[in-house]
Amino acid sequence: MRAAPGSRIVIHGAHVDSAERRGEVVEARGEDGGPPYLVRFDDGSESLIFPGPDCELEHSQSAADRP
């Protein structure tokens, strides 16, 4: 998984009662856009995450155009 600042990340709930979390990648700290990612979630909290199988990226137009 590769991300760039501006990419949107969605973490799907692992259980039926769990809500999705959505946020924006602020910084990719791994090599070549790899994890870990500093993410600012829509509720204003920030977290350093290593995405798992419950995550997906929604690349922004500007982030997708970067080399």
Map out the domains of the chain as residue ranges: 1-9+22-67
Give residue 41's pLDDT band: very low, low, confident or very high (50, 70, 90): very high
**What was the pLDDT predicted at 60?**
61
CATH superfamily of 1-9+22-67: Domain of unknown function DUF1918 (2.30.30.440)
Question: Could you give the percent of the chain with pLDDT greater than 70?
Answer: 87
Q: pTM here?
A: 0.79
Q: Give 17 or 64, the one with higher predicted confidence.
A: 17
Q: Give 51 or 59, the one with higher predicted confidence.
A: 51
For the chain, strand residue ranges (E) read 8-11, 21-28, 37-41, 46-49, 55-58
